[in-house]
Amino acid sequence: METELKLTADTGDDVPNKKAKVEENQNVETFNEMKTDEDGTIEASKLSKRQIKKLRKLAEWEIKKKEKRLKEREKYRQKKLEALEKGEPRTGPSRKELKRNKAAESKNFLKVAVDLDYDDLMIDKDIGKCVKQLLRIYTINRRSLAPAKLYFTGIKKDGKIHKSLAKNDGYENWDVQWAFNKTYHEILSKNDILYLTSDSDNVLETLEKNTVYVIGGIVDHNHQKGLCMDRAQKLGLRTARLPLSEHIDMKTRTVLSTVHVFEILLKVSEGISWTKTLLEVLPMRKGAKPKEYTSSFNGDKDSDIEEFDKNDTIIQTEEN
Ligand code: SAH
């Protein structure tokens, strides 16, 4: 749903007809301060200069964002056409192939639940980042040769995560087991659950068939240290950390983002070694090197991951 913003004051903005569209939920802080009429419109005369300026910026940004998306889509389409003309082979699976790539028919035994019961502990900006990671997890899984079974659990109905998710048309139809207002431990047997947390003393060595690996769906820049571990312990669940220090040397902390943890699990479940997986998944700025580092190692990285890091800051850093 969109709310129309009427700017009646001469603000000198360059938005056509001095009207702009503002998406609901966008810039909540600004929006909540505004008084809207019954029909949902905002009269500029009721706003302070600062509010008008903020809204105008927001509206301009919205327009720019849409234009950027269109340009990107067009560029992508063009690239695909050119590749087709040149007779280059496809780089990824076709839409048809993707449709058939369902977890239920997958040869992969891996089961992963993302615990999204942290709605109230994240600021709006991090909610957006968290949902972006869910999207990324879903895409990686769908595009993999053998997708894992995914559970997205503990989503509060009409809560912040839910609202952010709902911006993605058709998300309800994703090949995911959704659990709204229910946590993973309410839908799964406790004995089958293993909560992954960097604070655990147990080290994950092999992936088991009957275990559901739970990853905390939280972006908190590690401000809430030990949070997931605490919750898992209170529930009496098994916990483990990824075997990072056992396989690689890293120059930064070993708390990874939800999406990186998922990618690592998926690769390892496909039979790729921990060392190779970790070096492929972890971004360059984590400075990961194989345990027995030799100068011949050139630190090649997956360009897609690197790009995603740059644009979406998915790593749990304390600064962002
Ligand atoms: N402050 C949070 C950090 C969240 S990081 C906490 O208390 O854990 C997001 C999720 O990724 C974590 O909840 C955990 O499930 C997983 N994770 C991150 N680094 C990990 C590691 N080294 N080993 C196992 N799980 C990890």
Outline where DSSP puts E strands in the chain.
Answer: 2-6, 19-23, 42-43, 111-115, 149-155, 177-180, 193-196, 212-216, 238-240, 248-249, 289-290
What does the radius of gyration of the chain's CA atoms come to, in whole angstroms?
Answer: 22
Of 112, 119, 234, nearest in space to 175 by CA: 112
Look at residue 313 and tell me whether its pLDDT is greater than 80.
no
Of 283, 312, 267, nearest in space to 141 by CA: 267
Give 137 Cα–ligand 1 centroid separation in angstroms.
15
Per-residue pLDDT tens digits for 291-312: 765 433 333 333 222 233 333 3
Cβ-Cβ contacts under 8 Å for 241 (sequence gap 6 or more): 196, 197, 198, 199, 200, 201, 202, 203, 204, 254
Q: Which of 220, 249, 300, 302 is catalytic?
A: 220
Could you tell me the sign of the dihedral formed by the alpha carbons of 313, 207, 143, 92, in that order? positive
| Ligand 1 atom 18: residue of nearest CA | 256
Outline where DSSP puts E strands in 24-129.
Answer: 42-43, 111-115
Angle at 147 between CA 303 and CA 207, to 5 degrees: 95
Per-residue pLDDT tens digits for 174-191: 999 999 999 999 999 999
Look at residue 317 and tell me whether its pLDDT is greater than 80.
no
Residues of the chain with CATH 3.40.1280.30: 101-242+255-270
Per-residue pLDDT tens digits for 98-155: 777 788 888 899 999 999 999 999 999 999 999 999 999 999 999 998 999 999 999 9
What per-residue confidence (pLDDT) applies to 119?
A: 92
| Ligand 1 atom 4: residue of nearest CA | 218
When pLDDT is averaged across residues 85-91 and rounded to a whole number, the result is 78
Which of 256, 257, 274, when mutated, tests ligand 1's pocket best, judged by the most ligand atoms within 8 Å of its CB?
A: 256
Of 144, 147, 118, nearest in space to 258 by CA: 118
Tokens of 262: 């998922």
Give 201 Cα–ligand 1 centroid separation in angstroms.
13
Helices (H), 166-316: 184-187, 227-234, 244-247, 258-269, 274-281, 303-312
Per-residue pLDDT tens digits for 33-76: 555 555 555 666 678 888 889 889 989 988 998 899 899 989 98
C-alpha 44/C-alpha 6 separation (Å) is 6
C-alpha 34/C-alpha 49 separation (Å) is 12
Give 28 Cα–ligand 1 centroid separation in angstroms.
28
Tokens of 217: 């769906």
Per the annotation, the verdict on 220 as an active-site residue is yes
C-alpha 168/C-alpha 259 separation (Å) is 18
* 113 pocket-lining for ligand 1 (C-beta < 6 Å): no
Tokens of 44: 């500029």
Question: Given 3.40.1280.30, 3.30.465.10, 3.90.950.10, 3.20.20.70, which CATH number is that of 101-242+255-270?
Answer: 3.40.1280.30
* 215 pocket-lining for ligand 1 (C-beta < 6 Å): yes
Pick the more confident residue, 97 or 293.
97
Question: What's the pTM?
Answer: 0.69
Of 78, 48, 37, 103, nearest in space to 266 by CA: 103
Question: 6 has which bridge partners?
Answer: 19, 43
| Ligand 1 atom 20: residue of nearest CA | 198
Look at residue 15 and tell me whether its pLDDT is greater than 90.
no
Look at residue 14 and tell me whether its pLDDT is greater than 80.
no
Tokens of 15: 């938005």
Pick the more confident residue, 305 or 287.
287
* 318 pocket-lining for ligand 1 (C-beta < 6 Å): no
What per-residue confidence (pLDDT) applies to 1?
A: 40
Query: How does DSSP classify residue 203?
Result: B
| Ligand 1 atom 12: residue of nearest CA | 216
* 261 pocket-lining for ligand 1 (C-beta < 6 Å): yes
